[in-house]
Amino acid sequence: MAMRLSPTLSLYIGRQFASWFVGVFLALIAIVFLFDLVELLRRASGKADATFAIVIRMSLFKLPNLAQDMVPFVVLAAAMLTFWRLTRNQELTVVRAAGVSVWQFLLPVVAIAVFFGGLKIAVLNPVAAVLYGKFEQIESRYLRGRSSLLAVSPTGLWLREVDGGTNSVVHAQRISSQDLELQDVMILSFEGSQDRFIGRVDASTARLMPGYWELRDAWITAPERPARFEKEFNLPTEMTVERIQEGFASPETISFWELPAFIRMLENAGFSALRHRLYWHSLVAGPLLLFAMVLIAASFSLRPSRQGGALTMVVGGITAGFLLFFLSNIIAALGQSASLPVLLAAWAPTAVSTLLGVATLLYLEDG
Using one digit for the tens of pLDDT, what is the confidence trace for 108-126?
A: 999 999 999 999 999 999 9
| pLDDT of residue 167 exceeding 90 | no
| pLDDT of residue 60 exceeding 90 | yes
Give the separation between CA 348 and CA 324, rounded to whole angstroms: 11
Evaluate whether 250 touches 312 at the Cβ level (below 8 Å).
Answer: no
User: Nearest to residue 240, comparing CAs of 167, 172, 188, 179?
Assistant: 179
pLDDT at position 224 is 81
With 0-12 / 13-18 / 19 or more C-beta atoms within 10 angstroms meaning exposed / middle / buried, residue 282 is buried
Mean per-residue pLDDT for 217-224?
89
pLDDT at position 365 is 66
Q: Are strands 156-163 and 225-236 parallel, antiparallel or unpaired?
A: unpaired
pLDDT at position 117 is 93
% of the chain at pLDDT higher than 90:
31
Using one digit for the tens of pLDDT, what is the confidence trace for 266-288?
A: 777 667 788 889 999 999 999 99
Question: Is the model more confident about 270 or about 131?
Answer: 131
Query: For helices 274-284 and 342-366, what crossing angle results, to 10°?
Result: 20
Strand partners, 152: 157
Give the separation between CA 276 and CA 86, rounded to whole angstroms: 41
Give the separation between CA 161 and CA 189, rounded to whole angstroms: 10
Using one digit for the tens of pLDDT, what is the confidence trace for 8-26?
A: 888 988 999 999 999 999 9
pLDDT at position 1 is 44
Give the separation between CA 147 and CA 132, rounded to whole angstroms: 15
| pLDDT of residue 82 exceeding 80 | yes
User: Nearest to residue 79, comparing CAs of 285, 300, 287, 284?
Assistant: 300
Using one digit for the tens of pLDDT, what is the confidence trace for 284-301?
A: 999 999 999 998 888 887
| pLDDT of residue 27 exceeding 90 | yes
Q: Amino acid identity of 329?
A: N
Contacts of residue 13, defined as CB under 8 A and 6 or more positions apart, other chains included, come to: 82, 86, 105, 108, 109
Q: Are strands 212-222 and 156-163 parallel, antiparallel or unpaired?
A: unpaired
Lowest-confidence pick of 25-29, 149-153, 221-225, 313-317: 149-153
| pLDDT of residue 150 exceeding 70 | no
